[in-house]
Amino acid sequence: MQRICVIGGSRYFGKLLVKRLQAAGHQVTVINRGSTPPPAGVEHLVVDRNDEAALTAALGSRTFDVVVDQVCYTPVQAAVAARAFAGRTRRYVMTSTIEVYDPATAAMAAVPPGTPVPEEIVDPATWLVAMDLPWHDEAYLEAHYAEGKRQAEAVFTRAGSFEFASVRCAHVLGGGAQEFTGRLAHYAGRIATGVEITVHAKALPTVFIHYEELADLLLWATTADFTGPVNACSDGPLDVHGLAAIIAAQTGREPVYRIVPAGEEASAFSFDRHYAMNNARAKELGYSFSRTTDWLPGAVAEALTIEPSPSA
């Protein structure tokens, strides 16, 4: 049994992670602002993680074997947590994102299309941190989501008071109504009703992961001994046409596409730039991934029960 603290953990794969940790026999503490209570038997600390004084006070004399941070989006949040948990934990795991590799959001080494992107393309040990940017502005943060995650990883990597690992997750699907982005339901609904999907002329593939598999990988990451970033994605990248074909097979309706001009934004999962991740490091460390095509039909079936979004 380990003492594990989860920051966030109130929805989707974070909520499932808490249940998996508890089922594995760990002593679990959840920190969030109190909107959703954790399962019975899980300690709940209601506090805003952005308020360093309040966070430190809420932690009291508690120590943990591992902290899993599900909701760190900026270097400012990372710095607060690094100070608050210094001397309180031996290991810190942060949920990061495939978006750190998006070449449209930062200058980084180019990876040829068709070559899965490895972790070293974005090295948090050398990434520039700018604490004075307007990270507290919600509009700024939304527009700079990828950079916020990159810089948060960089702050934790340099903290030095605990082992640090980041899990860079692919696009997360599954769970029906739990899937808060609604992107799979968007596609399923539009294809089922014959509404067009906007795509790029040369749409490039991306990678996905089922929310249950991501919860399992995060559970594994709490007890693993690796440090640094690890990519988390199911085997088998898909482009928007491959995704739509799987949906079409269940709906009996062929997708209707509209190609957007170069440089124009298209529907989610249609990409005109390459950053599909390589999951080889996680495999070398001992984690086995499913294939996207094994679980995606089930996720589509769930998505088809959801009211489609009117947006393009």
**259: confidence class by pLDDT, cuts 50, 70, 90:** very high
Q: For the ranges 147-156, 237-246, 255-264, 298-307, which has the lowest average pLDDT?
A: 298-307
Instruction: Report the C-alpha gap between 260 and 180 in whole angstroms.
Output: 26
**310: confidence class by pLDDT, cuts 50, 70, 90:** very low
- pLDDT at position 307 is 63
As given in the structure block, the two tokens for residue 90 are 């031996």
- pLDDT at position 8 is 93
**114: confidence class by pLDDT, cuts 50, 70, 90:** confident
Which positions ≥6 away from 42 have C-beta within 8 Å? 18, 22, 28, 29, 30
- pLDDT at position 180 is 78
Instruction: Report the C-alpha gap between 138 and 48 in whole angstroms.
Output: 16
- pLDDT at position 311 is 45
The pLDDT tens digits of the residues spanning 2-31 come to 999 999 977 788 889 999 999 999 999 999
Q: For the ranges 33-37, 102-106, 182-186, 307-311, which has the lowest average pLDDT?
A: 307-311
Which positions ≥6 away from 302 have C-beta within 8 Å? 174, 175, 176
Residue range 170-183: average pLDDT?
A: 86
With vertex at residue 249, the alpha carbon angle to CA 246 and CA 253, rounded to the nearest 5 degrees, is 115
Residue range 188-198: average pLDDT?
A: 94
Whole-number percent of the chain with pLDDT over 70: 98
Average pLDDT for the chain: 93
pLDDT over 50 at 150, yes or no: yes
Q: What are the phi and psi torsion angles at 108 (to 5°)?
A: -155, 170
**181: confidence class by pLDDT, cuts 50, 70, 90:** confident
Helix (H/G/I), strand (E/B), else coil: 43? strand
pLDDT over 70 at 194, yes or no: yes
Residue 138 CA to its chain's centroid (Å): 19
Domain 3-303 fold: Rossmann fold (3.40.50)
pLDDT over 80 at 138, yes or no: yes
Instruction: Report the C-alpha gap between 232 and 127 in whole angstroms.
Output: 21
Measure the N-to-C terminal CA separation of the chain; round to a whole number of Å: 47
The DSSP code sequence of 82-150 is HHHTTTTEEEEEEEEEGGGG-TTSS------TTSPBPGGGS-TTT----TTS-TT-HHHHHHTHHHHHH
- pLDDT at position 312 is 41
pLDDT over 50 at 101, yes or no: yes
pTM here is 0.94
- pLDDT at position 14 is 84
Helix (H/G/I), strand (E/B), else coil: 271? strand
179/22: higher pLDDT: 22
The pLDDT tens digits of the residues spanning 210-220 come to 999 999 999 99
Closest to 32 in 3D by CA, of 58, 62, 53: 58
Which positions ≥6 away from 25 have C-beta within 8 Å? 1
Domain boundaries, the chain: 3-303
pLDDT over 50 at 309, yes or no: no
